[in-house]
Structure 1
Amino acid sequence: MCQIFINADPELYATRSRSIRLHGVATSLRLENLFWQVLGEIGERDGLSVPQLLGRLYDELTVSGRLDESTNFTSFLRVSCLRYLQLQLAGRIPADPRVPIRDLDPAWVLAAERRPSA
């Protein structure tokens, strides 16, 4: 089993920092390269650069009231990438990258998502 994971290209789990502006404030985010790749794919689906995607996610998180001083935005991004891939595997997000995320019905996409038990 471990060979499947340990034989991954080390470049995938190397970290990279990127500076972006969120609400006009410059900040630095450090993620593994694989997460940057997935964020790039998500953004491309809707014609957004990674900084534009991150700005939109940050803004929507703020508007939702789910962003406060205890929120780790970098962790949120990692979980968003994993959820994106899980929802693709479940067939709720089309694998075809030409289908924009904005065109999907969020209620339908999330209807089959399993909630973690308490």
Structure 2
Amino acid sequence: MCRLFIAADPALWDSTTRSIRIDGMVTSIRLENFFWTVLAEIGGRDGLATTQLITKLYHEANEAGHDSGNFTSFLRVCCGRYLALQLSGELPDGLPIAKIDAGDILERENDRRKAVA
């Protein structure tokens, strides 16, 4: 079982730090290359560069009242959710995420959690 993970390209878990300007302030974000690839894919669906996606996520998270103190963890979770939603069929291939009804997806997820509990 573990060979599937252990024999993967080690470059996937190498970390890369990128400097990004958000609201005129330069910040550094350090993520594993795997997550940078997923963020690029997420942004690409909506015609956004990775830095544009990260800035958008930062603003929307702040508007929702989230603490941005651990923003890199938030980005990793965004990547994981994106991949899980793809796997479950909730994100149709090629459709921009901005055009998907998040409310419906969140409601179905909540219903599934209740059914399991």
* Of 103, 107, 112, the match for 2:99: 103
Q: Does residue 31 of structure 2 align to residue 31 of structure 1?
A: yes
User: How many angstroms apart in 2 are the aligned matches of 1:86 and 1:30?
Assistant: 22
SS at match of 2:36: helix
Residue in structure 2 matched with residue 61 of structure 1 by the alignment: 61
The TM-score with structure 1 as length reference comes to 0.89
Paired residues of 1:92 and 1:109 also in contact (CA < 8 A)? yes
Kept in 2: contact 1:92–1:108 (CA 8 A):
no
Taking structure 2 as the reference length, what is the TM-score of the superposition? 0.90
Q: State how far apart, in whole Å, the 2-side matches of 1:93 and 1:75 are.
A: 22
Runs (4+) of structure 1 exceeding 4 A deviation are none
Which residue is equivalent to 2:2?
Answer: 2
Offset of 1:108 from its aligned partner? 1.6
Q: Helix, strand or coil for the counterpart of 1:112?
A: helix
- Partner of 2:66: helix, strand, or coil? coil
What runs of 5+ residues in structure 2 fail to find an aligned partner? none
Q: Which residue type is aligned with residue 83 of structure 1?
A: R
Q: Secondary structure at the match of 1:37?
A: helix
**Map of 1:72 onto structure 2:** 70
Q: How far apart, CA to CA, are the structure 2 residues paired with 1:10 and 1:85?
A: 20
User: Structure 1 stretches of 5 or more lacking a match?
Assistant: none
Aligned pairs, how many?
112
Distance across 2 between alignment mates of 1:29 and 1:102: 24
Amino acid at match of 1:85: L
Structure 2 counterpart of 1:83:
81
Q: Which has the higher relative contact order, 1 or 2, with Cα contacts under 8 A spaced 6 or more apart?
A: 1
